[in-house]
Every structure is written in structure tokens, then in C-alpha cells.
Amino acid sequence: MKKKTKKGLLPYLFLFLIMLVILYFVTNMNNKVNVLSYDEFVVSLNEGKIEELSITPKSSAYVYELTGKLKNYKENESFFVRVPLSDEVVSKVLKTNDEYDFKLVTEADPSSNSFWIVVVNLLPILILVGATFFIFTRQLGGANKSMDFGRSRAKLSEDNKKIKFDKVAGLDEEKEEVSELIDFLKNPKKFQKLGARIPKGVLLVGPPGTGKTLLARAVAGEANVPFYYISGSDFVELFVGVGASRVRDMFKQAKQNAPCLIFIDEIDAVGRQRGSGIGGGHDEREQTLNQLLTEMDGFGENEGIIIIAATNRPDVLDPALLRPGRFDRQVTVNLPDVKGREAILKVHAQNKVFAKNIKLENIAKRTVGFSGADLENLLNEAALLAVRKDKEKITMAEIDEAHDRVLMGPAKKSKKYTDKEKRLVAFHEAGHAVIGLKLDGANEVQKITIIPRGAAGGYNLMLPKEETYFQTKKELLDTISGLLAGRVAEEITFNEVTTGAHNDFEKATKIARAMVTEYGMSDLGPVQFEQRESGNVFLGRDYTKSRNFSSQVAFEIDQEQRKIINECYEVTKKIIKENKDLLELIANTLLEYETITKEQIEYLVKNGKMPDETSHEEDISDLSLSELRDKAKDKNIKGYYKMTRDELVDALEKNE
């Protein structure tokens, strides 16, 4: 750090000197100096025109330097003249200065002071050398960076020791898988004693935002070892051979700081399978990969260097990268289950202020499919909404709105429906709710709103009743029926159809085709005709999708797919016709309230009306002072504007 500071001061010092020179010239710019000849000076002296005179001997030049002012000069005007040291006129003035009517000043000879001689002679040279050095370093800055291309871009993290396993929630099995890496980094002799070889590389595989980088940092933090972080794209540059050089330099630095941990994020950027793709491979990337393979296979068994890499595309990695001796352990970091989501929410909720009625367990149940990053974003959005509303605590209203924002975007309250469109959307969303209530295998409706969000005219949050690893054929068919319910409700109620169900059809068609071609759930038998995400990933999955069937079988697949959709459509139509009263009840309630939740839907089905507002009103203790005053005004509470916050809460509770 000290070297960088000293080097950084040089340009500023040079700039300061330049400013001094500029300031000197600016201050002397307004001064007018008249250069007189010797004869003019003598005439002015004899005629008594001189007002001031300064005489400075210059022994080195054998002259006198005379400066001064004439009586007719302006304020900033002066004269200058040089005369020989042997001049009799100047000698007479110096000897008999009392005879002259002007102010006389004699200066010492600068040549008598050796310090000023050095300054005057060396300062221009120093300024010239400094300017040359500054320009030279500036011009060669780019060249120095080019020469630095081969250096590793791996960054040594200084705050990884603060991150421990307690900061990594919802990954219990994953933490157990990497725990022995910590033991090895702390005590390698324990493994050497029994001849055990710790994995040189661990590959973390999983969707984005599941905590792969955080898990790697926690391993280094628990082991209390240096943590080197680099992205796969940092290896590959414009110049051929730079990536391989950076790999060598990275391992060189790591060996000097062993035991340590190297984390390579998005390793698929450099570790893609070699020799794939149209038009040949990528020489620079392949050379970098070759060097990485060599280095991983080259350093000793117990040098104390462990590499952890992360990717969400393990299918594109080169097989040589995954063989034993390199990345010989693969840890899958999946999306968290309900318990994992609750644990993650607890971690991110530590620095936030929530209302008393907030239960993280309920939030975890409603966030199926959310990653750790999504959950952190959810709570952050809720906190931002609470700040906008000037609330002192985060309530369930902000969490609901944040949840909808994360999934669908902000509500477009300014977008106005026509009455006909509003009824269409209400009955469409009510159709989904009816099937969710009447079919056990269909997804359960958590929330319905007819307020537009994103590109959708309405929004229906439907989640599985339980989180399972597998789905039965009946559950898949019921899910398709639930997706088709919106179109069926439109057709039965209005005798016409709209484009609002296009996204529902897309999802239903994918499920039906997978049942026929992948799951063997059709009359074509237990045969897999297509593979999910099959084909050459470098050419496009759909472009090279394998067709392990004839044209006749393709026709039969289309027939079976259409058969499943049509049968589910008929089942949906029958259920909605039998429950038309329930459909109208939910739709009319939506038209009045615009948004209803799962609890309100259940109460509506049971009692035929919405619950009382007071029974489901939010905790007034969580409201801001302005909101409390508005409620007190509506309740006609006298003197509410003079009450404190606590007094308002008590008065409102008594009024209820």
C-alpha cells in the first residue's frame, strides 16, 4: 500500500509545480518592463527623471543589472538595463548616492550564495526530467497492462473469515458434503496418516441464486484459510496464450499461500467441451482448459490447495475436467425446501423490523421454487415498500405486495379495464379457483387478483398442496384441468373465448407432451420418445433434438397429446357447470374486492360471503402515525389529532 501511495503522489507533485509556474507568469503578466539602452539610462539619471533604482551585481557575467522606475511611469511600469561592472557612472552612484534625489537599493550578488546557484541551475533540469518521466509512464501505462495480461485475475478475499456456516441456511446436506474439506485444510496430517487423498476439486452444481458462492466462502471461513475468487471469463482474453499464463500464475500464488482455497465461478465459460460446435473449437479457451487440467493433475496430493468451482451448466463441461483426480466430487445445490426457505428467511430477517403477526413459516410455505437470492430480494422489497409508506415495521401487506412484485412485477393500477374486460378476467380467474377447490390433484389457489401485473391482465397464484419429488398421472391431469379452467369459465359464462388463456395453454401442452414422450403415461406405452434437454448444447437443443421415432409415431404422439388435453377440458367443463354458483360467487367477489386470498376464498366457500373487515384487519399497532389518525378520523374519535401514538392505538382498540 505504501508503494502505491508514493507512486500516486508523483503526478500531483508535478501538477503542483506546473501550477506554480503558471501562477508566476500570470502575476507578472500585468507588469510592464521597458528595456533602456545605456545612453537612455545616463540621460534619465542626469536629468533627474529616476524615481527608484535597484542595483544588483552579477559577478559571473561581469555586469550590473539595474531596475527601477522613472517619474513619469505608471504603477506597474519599470525599466531594466545592464552595464559593465567597470562602469564609472554606476560606481559614482554607489559612492555618492546622497547627491541623487531617488530611492537607491543595492542587492547582494546571487553568485555569492551557493545554495541559490544550485537551485537556479538544477530546478529547470528537475522539472524537465519530471515532465518526461510523467509523460513516459502515462504513455506506457497501456503497454504495462498488456505486459500484465499474463498475471492471474484471482482476487484474494479479505472478508471471507467473517462468513461461517451459520450464514449458510437451508443447505444442511451440502455443508456436510464439504465439511471434510475444512478438516483437511485445518489438519492435513490427519488424512496423510491413513493415506487418504482429499478431493482436489469440488464442483458445485445448481440453479442460479442457490448459494454456491456463499457455500465456498463459508468453507474458507470455517477453515480460516485464504480465499481466492475468480470467474471463468477472467481467464480468456484477446491474446492467445494469456489464459494459460493466468492459470499458471494463479496456482503459483496459491502454492505460496497454501493451505488455501481457490473458487472458480461459472467454470463453464472456460471448461466447455473441446472440439464441439460448428466451425471448430476455440483455441484460446481450449489452451486455457488444457493448462487448468495440467495444473490440477500436477500439484502434489497434499499441497493444501483445494479448488471449488460452480456452474449451472454441468452438461457442457469437458469430461476430462470431471474425471477422478480433478473435479472428482460433485455437490448438487438445489432449490431449498420449505424448511430450508424458513431458515434462509431467518438469516435475512435479522436486520429487519417485522410486525408481531409475521410468521416466517407461512412465508416459506408461499414461496415454492424461490432460491436463496429470491428470498433475500423478497424481504428487501418488503422493507422498501414499508419505507415508502412511512411505516415503522414491515407488515404482511408489504410482504404480499413484494411477493407479487418478484413474480409478476408491480401492479398497474393506472391501467383501466372496460366493464366487459373486468368481468372476463374475474370469471377467468374464478374458474382456476373452482378447479383448485374441487380437484384434489390440482394446484391450490393462494391468491387471486384482477389488477394487471406485468403482461398479465389478472394474476392467480397457484401452488402445489404439498412439495413432492414425484407426481402421479392423476396429479398431472388435474394440473392440466386447472390450467384449462380459465378458458372453460369464459366459454360457459359468455359463450365466447379470449386470448387470455394463451399462457395456460402453453403450460398445459408442455405437461401433456411430457406425459406422452417422456413419462410413458399414454396409450403408446412406457416408451420414452424424447429426452428433456437432449441434443447438442452447442448447436441449440431444438435444432438437434433427437427423434427416435418414425413419422407415424409422431402422428400418434400428436393424437395422444390432443386426447389428454381434450379429456381434461371435458372434465373441467363438467366440474364448472356443476359449480356454476360457486364460480359466480367468487367472480362477483373479485369484481367488488379485486384481490382475495386463500383464507378469504375458504371463508367465502363455507359462508357464502366475505369475512368481516374487522376480523381480518391488520394489527393497528403496526400502522404509522398518519394512518392511525386517518382511522381515528373515520371512527369519529374526538381529539385524535392531539393524541400520541400509544393513545391512538388504545382509543382505536376500545372503539372496536
Give catalytic residues, as residue numbers: 429
- All 3 cell numbers of residue 205? 452444481
Q: What are phi and psi of 334, to 5 degrees?
A: -90, 175
β-strand partners of 81: 66
Instruction: Give dist(CA 132, CA 592) in Å, integer.
Output: 79
**CA-to-CA distance for 571 and 350, rounded, in angstroms?**
48
The Cα 275–Cα 259 span in angstroms is 35
Give the integer Cα–Cα distance in Å for 618 and 623. Answer: 9
Alpha helix segments (H runs only) across 301-450: 319-322, 338-348, 360-366, 372-388, 396-408, 419-438
DSSP 3-state of 106: strand
C-alpha cell at 255: 502454492
Distance of CA 355 to the CA centre of its chain: 29
According to DSSP, residue 303 is labeled S
Residues 628, 645: Cα–Cα separation, whole Å = 8
SS3 212: helix
Per DSSP bridges, beta strands 227-231 and 155-157 are antiparallel
∠ CA 402-403-406, rounded to 5°: 85
Which are the contacts of 303, defined by CB distance < 8 A and separation ≥ 6? 255, 258
Contact 412, 553 (CB under 8 A): no
Nearest to 213 by CA among 168, 243, 269, 183: 168
Rounded distance, CA 39 to CA 615, Å? 113
What is each CA distance from 449 to 93, 438, 460, in whole angstroms? Answer: 106, 20, 7
Collapsing DSSP to helix, strand or coil, 22 comes out as: helix
Judged by DSSP in three states, 460 sits in strand
Cell 500464488 appears where? 253
Per DSSP, the residues of 516-561 read HHTS--STT-S-----TT-S-TTT-TTTT----S-HHHHHHHHHHH
